Amino acid sequence: MSSLSSLSATFRHGVHPPESKELTSGVVVRRMPYPDEVVLPMRQHTGSPAEPIVRPGDQVERGDKIAEATGWVSVPIHASATGTVSALDHWPHPDGSFAQSVRIDVDPFSAQDTRHRVLPVWSGLSPKELVGAIRDAGLVGLGGAAFPTHVKLSPPEEQKIDVLLLNGCECEPYLTTDHRTMVDFPERVLLGTRIMMRCLGVKRCLIGIEKNKPDAIAAIERGLPEDLDIAVAPLSVKYPQGAEKMLIKALVDREVPSGRLPMHVGAVVQNVASVATIAEVFETGLPLLERIVTVTGPGVVRPANLIVPVGTKLRDLLEACGGLVDDAREIISGGPMMGIAQKSLEAPVLKGTTGIVVLTEDECKRRETHPCIRCGHCLEACPVYLNPQLLGSMARVGRYSEMEEEHLADCMLCGCCSYVCPSNIPLSQLFQLSKSALQRKKRAT
Amino acid sequence: MSAPGLLVTASPHLSAKASTPTIMWNVIGSLVPIVIVSIYLFRISALLVLAASVAGALLPERIWSRVGAVRDGSALITGILLALTLPPGIPIWMAFAGAFFGVAFGKLVFGGLGQNPFNPALLGRAFLQAAFPVALTTWPLPGGNWLAFKGDTLALPLMSANAPDAVTAATPLGLMKFEHTSTSLFDLFLGFTGGTLGETSAALVLICGGYLAWRRFLEWRIPASIFATVALLSGLFFLIDPARYPNPLFMLLSGGLMLGAVFMATDMVTSPTTHKGCWIFGVGIGALVVVIRLWGGLAEGVMYAILLMNALVPFINRWTQPTLFGSRKKVDVAS
């Protein structure tokens, strides 16, 4: 097993941004009070948006289903607080657009206690029943992309899966959600792992954790069960170590080919916070209603790791952390490398919101753009071995179909090229634009 | 809590500290010790040649390039590097003209910084070499009176310069090529020999280049492959016939090889973007240097070696494109 024989398993290329995790890495997870209103967008997972099944005026209890999945790659959405549906309208979405959302006025006198929605017994269920329960609970990957968990757990029959890989890298700077999940709830991570292994029928599991989290590595190692082949693999601290393809490369030394999925190399990858949530569903009998969110950055008065009801508006979340400092300038949903800058504090926390990072004037000084000097630093940074310099020059003149031939589709917008560019050319932004331009062109034809 | 004037930019929201001007100004900083030594060696003439060359490089950049381009430091580097490749006794109007030509025709006509195929300083020098071969091959001795010119320093433009009055010396490479006498390697290493402004101390060039490589502002693979190729090839010929061919250490330390390999071949704009490409580029330069020096009509070949390889960079880049992740190794699913 090559992955464990060397202590610094990793992938080639990548970058080393300052980790900046000390603000919250030692802060124990606590629960934030319920806000006055929660807003639940129908589009918060990869796949087709959910379809609302409530009307304004309906009373909902915490845990009630308020929107139905609309296909196989889709999940239902549940009320994250007891209250009254006040509106069904378009509301600011963290991706910058407006999305159909169910707004719930939270009942200030409710204890937010609720009854079981899922049978809190998992050991008697068959893999199929387990996957069904996970789907009904609205579970998605909590690492950012929010891919429906039940889809990952249902690979086609002919596809042999031999290993489950857990992602505890959390390579984005500032964020400590996965870190605190592993330190504060290691038994949940391991129970969730057990359930996932049963669903997939795999015998082996590797948990990849970057070496800058020794307490998480220790906490998970302490709880490792005797009867399962689960091992912790400490990985080098490097961005984007947590990207699926990079993690698979580091842990089992397999390269997922262009356009293929992890299952094509026999692996399923899941983020540790999502795994812990699987355990939580069967422990509490409740669907996915809340998640751990890191609220951090120099622009936040009291950085914290909070258990937050899904749908909490950023305004309420930041208030629970003491508010913003005076020179707060940029509020990012997600990590600073791939997260989205927010224009409105009305946008809510989604199932896939890993953290909120607030940067001050100092961190986001806009820097002048210079001509490309062909230094080649972007080629050394790109984790999937593209030529960002060439792609960037093509993007600037709109040669999108040529970019496609240069494998634009393999770019995962990790931002390494923009990060290292000494001329501050917004490469990953150009690639994002080129991808959308190509999509528009395809739709038009 | 009201939303302050929120900044909305595209990810990533962090960036590495080094910017293009940072790189350029660090290169300039690392050239300062070399400049100081050349002024010490060649006195007021060196100072005037440097000043003229820098002025000649900055003027076209100021006139024809984008606003603020002078501040990025790239034209200043061209000016300093060109001066360092010139003999100290050259009339300063020639230095000015060479730098002006290098920046205007070597860089700005292609679209400015980042667009030029050839190193502008070397192109400027190639222009001078073609236009004024005598002035470019007259080598005064280092040292002497601080205020005495080393040649027709202040000659008027296009007035034919008479044979210089100053005492001249042959360069070590010239001595080797045309008179078959060798120069002490230790003198070469420390730099107190005849030659251009900057082709003097190998040790100093290595130290300054080492700093840049450590800061990752210089691609070490290029000088490393140039040195290795020159040493290996010339070593081979030295072993075959030590009486006819110079010893490899002499080849490494003499002439403009150090300065060219460390500061000119590594110009980011005109060198390959891939690591593999940098190795090929360096080996090509090294081989051409040896070929020109041993069998060419010139005593020195570094300039043409680099310019020729500059021309090949687009092809080298094309040949050495990175292979997409996941397309090299066959996937093997266990079990």
Q: Is B37 a residue whose pLDDT tops 80?
A: yes
Query: Rounded to an integer, what distance in angstroms lies between the CA atom of residue B142 and that of residue A164?
Result: 72
What is the pLDDT at residue B161? Answer: 52
Q: Which of the listed ranges A115-129, B2-16, B101-115 does the model predict with the highest average pLDDT? A: B101-115
pLDDT band at B182 (very low <50, low <70, confident <90, very high): low
Q: Report pLDDT digits (tens) over A11-55.
A: 899 999 999 999 999 999 999 999 999 999 999 999 999 999 999
pLDDT band at B333 (very low <50, low <70, confident <90, very high): very low
What is the pLDDT at residue B329? Answer: 55
Q: Is B89 a residue whose pLDDT tops 90?
A: no
- Which whole-number Å values give the CA distances from A134 to A122, A154, A198, A219, A285, in the listed order? 11, 11, 13, 26, 11
Within 8 A of B266 by CB-CB distance, chain A residues are none
What is the pLDDT at residue B246? Answer: 87
List, for chain A, all residue ranges whose pLDDT scores fall below the cut of 70: 1-8, 119-120
What is the pLDDT at residue B154? Answer: 77
**Cβ of B273 and A331 within 8 Å?**
no
What is the pLDDT at residue B159? Answer: 63
Q: Give, as one character, the DSSP assignment of residue B176.
A: I
Query: Rounded to an integer, what distance in angstroms lies between the CA atom of residue A164 and that of residue A248?
Result: 10
Structure tokens at B238: 């030295």
φ, ψ for residue B247, nearest 5 deg: -75, 150
What is the pLDDT at residue B297? Answer: 77
Specify whether the CB–CB gap between A247 and A269 falls below 8 A. yes
Structure tokens at B29: 């900083």
Q: Please give the interface size between A and B, counted as residue pairs whose CB atoms are below 8 Å apart.
A: 182
What is the pLDDT at residue B231? Answer: 96
Q: Which of A95-109, B41-55, B192-206 has the lowest mean pLDDT?
A: B192-206
Closest partner residue to A376 among B10, B273, B326, by Cβ? B273
Cβ contacts of residue B131 below 8 Å, gap of 6+? Answer: none
What is the pLDDT at residue B163? Answer: 47
Chain B CA closest to residue A370: B20
- Which whole-number Å values give the CA distances from B113 to A84, A90, A425, in the listed order? 62, 47, 14
What is the pLDDT at residue B148? Answer: 76
ipTM above 0.90, yes or no: no
Q: How far is B194 from chain A (nearest CA, A)?
A: 34
pLDDT band at B53 (very low <50, low <70, confident <90, very high): very high
Q: Radius of gyration (Cα) for chain B, nearest Å?
A: 22
What is the pLDDT at residue A120? Answer: 67
- Which whole-number Å values give the CA distances from A290 to A23, A282, A346, in the listed order? 22, 15, 18
- Which whole-number Å values give the CA distances from B241 to A8, B127, B176, in the listed order? 50, 36, 15
Q: Which long-range contacts (CB under 8 A, 24 or more apart) does B209-216 make?
A: B209/B30, B209/B262, B209/B263, B209/B266, B211/B30, B212/B26, B212/B27, B212/B30, B215/B18, B215/B26, B216/B18
The SS3 assignment for B62 reads helix
Residue A105's beta-bridge partner residues? Answer: A37, A84
- Which whole-number Å values give the CA distances from A339 to A140, A334, A415, B13, B242, in the listed order? 18, 4, 10, 8, 65
Structure tokens at A349: 């926390």
**Cβ of B4 and A328 within 8 Å?**
yes
Q: Is B43 a residue whose pLDDT tops 90?
A: no
If we measure between CA atoms, which residue out of A69, A150, A116, A129 comes closest to residue A286?
A116
Closest partner residue to B19 among A367, A374, A429, by Cβ? A367
**Cβ of A264 and B331 within 8 Å?**
yes
What is the pLDDT at residue B155? Answer: 75
Specify whether the CB–CB gap between B73 and B28 falls below 8 A. yes
Domains in chain A: boundaries: 124-284, 377-444
Q: Is B247 a residue whose pLDDT tops 50?
A: yes
Q: Give, as one character, the DSSP assignment of residue A256.
A: P
Q: Report pLDDT digits (tens) over A378-432.
A: 999 999 999 999 999 999 999 999 999 999 999 999 999 999 999 999 999 999 9
**Cβ of B333 and A162 within 8 Å?**
yes
CATH class of A124-284: alpha beta
What is the pLDDT at residue A3? Answer: 41
Q: Radius of gyration (Cα) for chain A, nearest Å?
A: 21
If we measure between CA atoms, which residue out of B269, B213, B32, B289 comes closest to residue A374?
B269
What is the pLDDT at residue A2? Answer: 40
Cβ contacts of residue B141 below 8 Å, gap of 6+? Answer: B166, B167, B168, B169, B194
Query: Rounded to an integer, what distance in angstroms lies between the CA atom of residue A167 and that of residue A178?
Result: 9
Instruction: Give the global pTM.
Output: 0.90
φ, ψ for residue A122, nearest 5 deg: -110, -25
Structure tokens at B124: 């400027």
Query: Rounded to an integer, what distance in angstroms lies between the CA atom of residue B94 and that of residue B56?
Result: 10
What is the distance between the terminal CA atoms of chain B, rounded to a whole angstrom? 58
**Cβ of B322 and A385 within 8 Å?**
yes
> Testing the interface with A: which of B1, B2, B14, B330 to mutate, by most A Cβ within 10 A?
B14
The owner of tokens 């699926």 is A244
Q: Report pLDDT digits (tens) over B147-176.
A: 777 777 777 776 655 544 455 666 777 777
